[in-house]
A = this chain, B = another copy of it.
Amino acid sequence: MKAIAVERGADKPVVIEKPRPEPDAGEALVRTLRVGVDGTDHEVIAGGHGGFPEGEDHLVLGHEAVGVVVDPNGTELEEGDVVVPTVRRPPASGTNEYFEKNQPDMAPDGMYAERGIVGAHGFMSEYFTSPSDYLVRIPRSQADLGFLIEPISITEKAREHAYASRSAFDWNPSSALVLGNGSLGLLTLAMLRADDKGYENLYCLGRRDRPDPTIDIIERLGATYVDSRETPVEEVPNAHEGMDFIYEATGFPKHAIQSVQALAPNGVAALLGVPSDWKFEVDAGAFHREMVLHNKALVGSVNSHVRHFEAATVTFTKLPRWFLRELVTGVHPLSEFEAAFEDDDTTIKTAIEFGTV
């Protein structure tokens, strides 16, 4: 079968031939439909993140997949089930308490592999196998855009943890700011528009000039575009209002620090980005004081697991169809896979199609 992989020493993905995998006991065989591309894939290709499986000189890419079960292999799945695989798997050293407790998203470095990212092949191949416990059934109607379930699940988890941090009191957020207008930022903005909290005012921060398709989406979602070149994050309360909830999807450490000043009293910021070291001067006294006197919280969040994928399938149904059409700017056949890795100001979210239902 064909697979898209990055090989040791290379800086771009290629199509390779691999044997079709055979499911082990407890695993199902899945025929791949589509696999999304995101920033993590670009970092893996550039060599800045992730790593090859033990003893191998290539890594099959892809962690945002949707497929159809072709061999349930005695698991509780059925042939024809449309499924989305989770990403974290036990490391080469074997399972551990995080997997046993069904919360591998809480495992620290070294206690997991991530398919398509670190230590395990991904899903950009015509077939893949997976333990059925890590395959989440989704409605057949979501098969076309099922590659969005994984990124939605990332926000489900971050939102769950952020809201949990505000659960000790009666919190009624009305304003939220998403930092970053990439595909994850826009997905999150649409999720917050549909959120049970009923946010009155939504904002999304970017650094793009008009006309721009992401600004169009932000405004069509009824949100306000905040240009970070005109309004730095810490100026947001003066320019607009203090934010009850902030979702950081830029990986820019100044945003992590400044979000505390941008929060309204009793607000929470969820941090999602993974920056490199960067030292700069911070008014840590003001940061600390503001955290305390206004009961603020910062919550870091990475990865997601089965229950977040399950929540994502419900959230998916609440996202407007026009939004999903505008968000996905390209679904490319395997023969033209390079196009899915191109990135310009008209590209928002791309996927590679390996097959159809």
Q: Are B284 and A279 touching (Cβ within 8 A)? A: yes
Binary interface encoding of chain A residues 270-299 relative to chain B, with 1 for a CB under 8 A from any of its CBs, else 0: 011111111111111111111111111111
Q: Are A279 and B274 touching (Cβ within 8 A)? A: no
- Among A76-84, A158-166, A324-332, the stretch in contact with B: A158-166
Whether, in the assembled complex, A265 has its beta carbon less than 8 Å from a beta carbon of chain B, the answer is yes
Enumerate 19 A-B pairs (CB-CB under 8 Å) in ascending A order.
Answer: A106-B295, A107-B265, A108-B294, A161-B169, A165-B297, A165-B299, A256-B287, A256-B288, A275-B285, A275-B289, A279-B281, A279-B285, A280-B282, A291-B299, A292-B301, A292-B302, A293-B300, A295-B301, A298-B298
Q: 13 more A-B contacts (CB under 8 A) besides A106-B266, A279-B282?
A: A105-B295, A160-B168, A164-B167, A165-B165, A253-B285, A253-B289, A257-B288, A275-B289, A293-B300, A294-B300, A295-B301, A296-B300, A297-B297
A285-B296 CB under 8 A given contacts A170-B101, A265-B108: no
| A298: chain B residues within 8 A (beta carbon) | 291, 297-298
> What count of chain A residues pass the 8 Å CB interface test?
55
| A169: chain B residues within 8 A (beta carbon) | 103, 106, 161
Q: Interface SS of chain A: helix, strand, loop or mixed?
A: mixed
Q: Are B295 and A285 touching (Cβ within 8 A)? A: no
Binary interface encoding of chain A residues 247-266 relative to chain B, with 1 for a CB under 8 A from any of its CBs, else 0: 00001011011000000011
Whether, in the assembled complex, A109 has its beta carbon less than 8 Å from a beta carbon of chain B, the answer is yes
CB distance from A45 to the nearest CB of B (A): 20
Q: Which of B273, B289, B296 lies in contact with A288, CB distance below 8 A?
A: B273
When chains A and B are docked, how far (Å) is the Cα of A292 from the Cα of B105? Answer: 11
CB distance from A29 to the nearest CB of B (A): 31
Q: Are A277 and B266 touching (Cβ within 8 A)? A: no
CB distance from A256 to the nearest CB of B (A): 4
Q: Are A161 and B295 touching (Cβ within 8 A)? A: yes
A289-B265 CB under 8 A given contacts A108-B294, A295-B161: no
| A289: chain B residues within 8 A (beta carbon) | 253, 274-277
Q: Are A293 and B282 touching (Cβ within 8 A)? A: no
The 3 closest A-B pairs by CB, nearest first: A291-B300, A278-B285, A165-B165
| A279: chain B residues within 8 A (beta carbon) | 281-285
Q: Which of B288, B291, B300 lies in contact with A292, CB distance below 8 A?
A: B300
Q: Are B299 and A271 touching (Cβ within 8 A)? A: no
- A301, closest chain B residue (CB): B295
- A170, closest chain B residue (CB): B101
Q: Are B170 and A103 touching (Cβ within 8 A)? A: yes
Q: Are B257 and A271 touching (Cβ within 8 A)? A: no
Contacts of A149-181 to chain B: CB distance below 8 A = 160-161, 164-170
Q: Which of B167, B272, B295 lies in contact with A167, CB distance below 8 A?
A: B167
CB distance from A158 to the nearest CB of B (A): 9
- A275, closest chain B residue (CB): B285
CB distance from A274 to the nearest CB of B (A): 5
A299-B297 CB under 8 A given contacts A164-B164, A265-B108, A274-B292: yes
Interface centre among A106, A167, A253, A300 (most CB of B within 10 A): A300
